[in-house]
Amino acid sequence: MAENNKHDNFDFPPVGRKNNKMQKFGGYWTYIIIAAILIGYQFFSMPTNPERISWQEFKNEILAKGEVKDIVIIRNGGKANIFLKPEKIETHDKLVAKGFNKKSTGPQYYVPFGTLEQFEKNLEDAQKEYPEAADIHIDYGDEYNWWADVISILLPLALFIGIWVFFMRRMSKNAGGGAGGGIFNVGKSKAKLFDKESNIKITFKDVAGLAEAKQEVEEIVSFLKSPDKYTKLGGKIPKGALLVGPPGTGKTLMAKAMAGEANVPFFSMSGSDFVEMFVGVGASRVRDLFKQAKEKAPCIIFIDEIDAIGRARGRNPNMGANDERENTLNQLLTEMDGFETNSGVIILAATNRADILDSALLRAGRFDRQIYVDLPELKDREEIFKVHLKPLKLASDIDYGFLAKQTPGFSGADIANVANEAALIAARKNKSAVEKQDFLDAIDRIVGGLENRSKVIKPSEKKAIAYHEAGHATVSWLLQHAHPLLKVTIVPRGKALGAAWYLPQERQITTKDQLLDQMCSVLGGRAAEEIVFGEISTGAQNDLERATKQAYAMVSIYGMSDKIGMLSYYDSSGQSDYSFTKPYSEKTAEVIDQEVKDMVSAAYERAKQLLSEHKDQHRQVAELLIEREVIFSDDLERILGERPWTEDGDTIQPEEL
């Protein structure tokens, strides 16, 4: 299919498109044949056109000789049709040449006239003049061109229908190139079907890490391949599985790999594909999808971004809830209940917002299994790097483990991006292979944005930025739980004028001390400005925002303040009634505000104190930064001394030192 060439392997024409084309083809041909028959009939049944002749000629040559049998005066046509006596026709060479003969019905001639009265008078005179013409039968008639009438009715109608069809096509095309387009197909599901001919090349080998998730999915594939193995012992095949995890962690990739591995048909569509501007379309698409799937069973249905339709239904129907979406969801729930467990249709869905999904969707019997696809850990990242670096030409200094360490918090998609970005950077520098430094540059770029060395920065501003960043670096160096520092730079990047780069620790839980230390190092920049210049600037806006958010979270979510106590006002279900009102009293709100303020102030004071105690070192760091623009943890170690803690923030025991 030519269409496949344009797209990658996953863009197959939607199901049913081929059939539609066939139907359309047949439809067009019927119309063409009917039109041809009509035109042909007109053409063949038309009498031979009469010959034009002037009044004078008619009077002298034909009327005078008594050759005329009838005259029919066509009032609305401004002419008179002349019918000759049959035996006289063949004496007219002109007529014979035109194909007239004895049997032709006629008229054979017509005479145009100016006014009817004048013509009648002329005719009367001529009849009086020539006795041969006295017995001519004269009649009156009107001529109807029914063909013109038909066209005058049909043309506007055809035009109207044409415009209507054109707009309907455009509309359904804009809505995602539906199944074969066309207004009559809006209710059809837009699922793409992958089957044996589709030749999907992605397999589980391309999905790195995610061992548990992979195992679950592999199990589903094997259910479909040999259901007997499981049903023999009385087990039921699960109806559906929900892949949950942050964006870019490989949920779609996993589904594609499943399509590649399972040799069963695979329907893929996105949650938003169900919903259209027309009411009722979503539900009908769900029905159509399941109908198609049942016909092809055993098979897999994959719904990406299911939160688009699966969002929890509103409690208050008058609040402008999205009825169309709810109808679609209801239909999905009904369909999932409706088919037998052993019918061999398995539904796989992906979302990064499992918390907002309707609880009815999550109950056992619908999505029986929830598979968590989390951000990759160190080991997984190493694996993902291996997959994505395979197609690159690498220098010998590449260490996958090192790269994995440099990318905490990166998703699989981010890592794929790093690999690609590094290759581009190396190519820009005309290197023959991608080196370690290219990867580090790529990581910096992805974390911090593009370097912007051409930004004009005044020397006084540069000094302020340097002292600000040195403040962050110095404070975090001196705090036990702050993230280990990687480097500090005052090269503008993206929107930031400078940055201290940390290597965030991968923690499953974070203690209060750790959070407070982080807050303190975030405020180190503003503290440095105040101590060194006695003047504060707008440069700390982002720092203050982060500190404030963190403080509010600590007080109102994590229950880390004494005055508020062990209360958490966070609603993970997203279904609270508090969307417009606070779940606490005004008095509590005041206490929360005060607690947050105290917490941030205390952290700020601590940062200021640390900087005052190490004023000299702070100045050295800043000066070095002004000189070099980028400094690394080694430089800090030289100035501030070795940190007495391990990378994880644990105290190093004397024997380890």
The residues carrying an active-site annotation are 469
Give the residue, chosen from 250, 265, 271, 471, that forms a contact with ligand ADP under the rule CB under 6 A.
Answer: 250
Give the residue, chosen from 271, 282, 298, 412, that forms a contact with ligand ADP under the rule CB under 6 A.
Answer: 412
**Cα 637 to the center of its chain, rounded Å:** 49
Give the residue, chosen from 416, 485, 500, 519, that forms a contact with ligand ADP under the rule CB under 6 A.
Answer: 416
Q: Which of these ranges, 9-17, 116-124, 246-254, 279-287, lies near ligand ADP under the rule CB under 6 A?
A: 246-254
Which 3 state secondary structure label does DSSP give 233? coil
Q: Which is nearer to ligand ADP, 210 or 354 (CB)?
A: 210
Strands 240-244 and 192-194 come out as unpaired
The three-state DSSP-derived secondary structure of 466-483 is HHHHHHHHHHHHHCCCCC
Where b means 16+ CB within 10 Å and e means fewer, 195-209 reads beebebebebebbbb
Give the residue, chosen from 108, 252, 406, 550, that forms a contact with ligand ADP under the rule CB under 6 A.
Answer: 252
Half-sphere exposure of 451 (CA within 13 A, CB side): 11
Closest by Cα among 534, 521, 531 to 483: 521
Half-sphere exposure of 513 (CA within 13 A, CB side): 5
Give the nearest distance from C-beta 337 to ligand ADP in angstroms. 27
Looking at residue 521, its amino acid is S
Phi, psi of 366 (to 5 degrees): -110, -90
Phi, psi of 130 (to 5 degrees): -115, 110
Give the nearest distance from C-beta 247 to ligand ADP in angstroms. 4
Does 407 bind ligand ADP (CB under 6 A)? Our answer is: no
Half-sphere exposure of 552 (CA within 13 A, CB side): 10
Q: Which is nearer to ligand ADP, 251 or 481 (CB)?
A: 251
Give me 313's structure tokens: 């239904």
Q: Which is nearer to ligand ADP, 394 or 554 (CB)?
A: 394
Considering only residues 343 to 372 of the shown chain, the ones binding ligand ADP according to CB under 6 A are 350
Give the residue, chosen from 62, 63, 179, 210, that forms a contact with ligand ADP under the rule CB under 6 A.
Answer: 210
Give the residue, chosen from 249, 270, 351, 521, that forms a contact with ligand ADP under the rule CB under 6 A.
Answer: 249
Does 247 bind ligand ADP (CB under 6 A)? Our answer is: yes
Angle at alpha carbon of residue 547, lines to 542 and 549, rounded to 5°: 95
Contact code string over 373-392 relative to ligand ADP, x by CB under 6 A:
-----------x--x-----
Q: Which of these ranges, 217-225, 247-255, 266-274, 527-535, lies near ligand ADP under the rule CB under 6 A?
A: 247-255
Give the residue, chosen from 248, 265, 498, 539, that forms a contact with ligand ADP under the rule CB under 6 A.
Answer: 248
Cis peptide preceding 14, ω within 30 of 0: no
Q: Which is nearer to ligand ADP, 84 or 202 (CB)?
A: 202
Give the nearest distance from C-beta 305 to ligand ADP in angstroms. 8
Residue 122 near residue 55 (C-beta atoms within 8 A): yes
Give the nearest distance from C-beta 354 to ligand ADP in angstroms. 13
Give the nearest distance from C-beta 273 to ligand ADP in angstroms. 15
Question: For ligand ADP, which residue has the nearest CB?
Answer: 412
Does 251 bind ligand ADP (CB under 6 A)? Our answer is: yes
Residue 571 near residue 586 (C-beta atoms within 8 A): no
Considering only residues 150 to 209 of the shown chain, the ones binding ligand ADP according to CB under 6 A are 207-209
| Bridge partner residues of 192 (DSSP) | 14, 268
Give the nearest distance from C-beta 419 to ligand ADP in angstroms. 9
Q: How far apart are CA 293 and CA 193, in angstroms?
A: 10
Give the nearest distance from C-beta 207 to ligand ADP in angstroms. 5
| Bridge partner residues of 71 (DSSP) | 82, 138
Residue 301 near residue 289 (C-beta atoms within 8 A): yes
* Interface positions with ligand ADP (CB under 6 A): 207-210, 247-253, 350, 384, 387, 412-413, 416
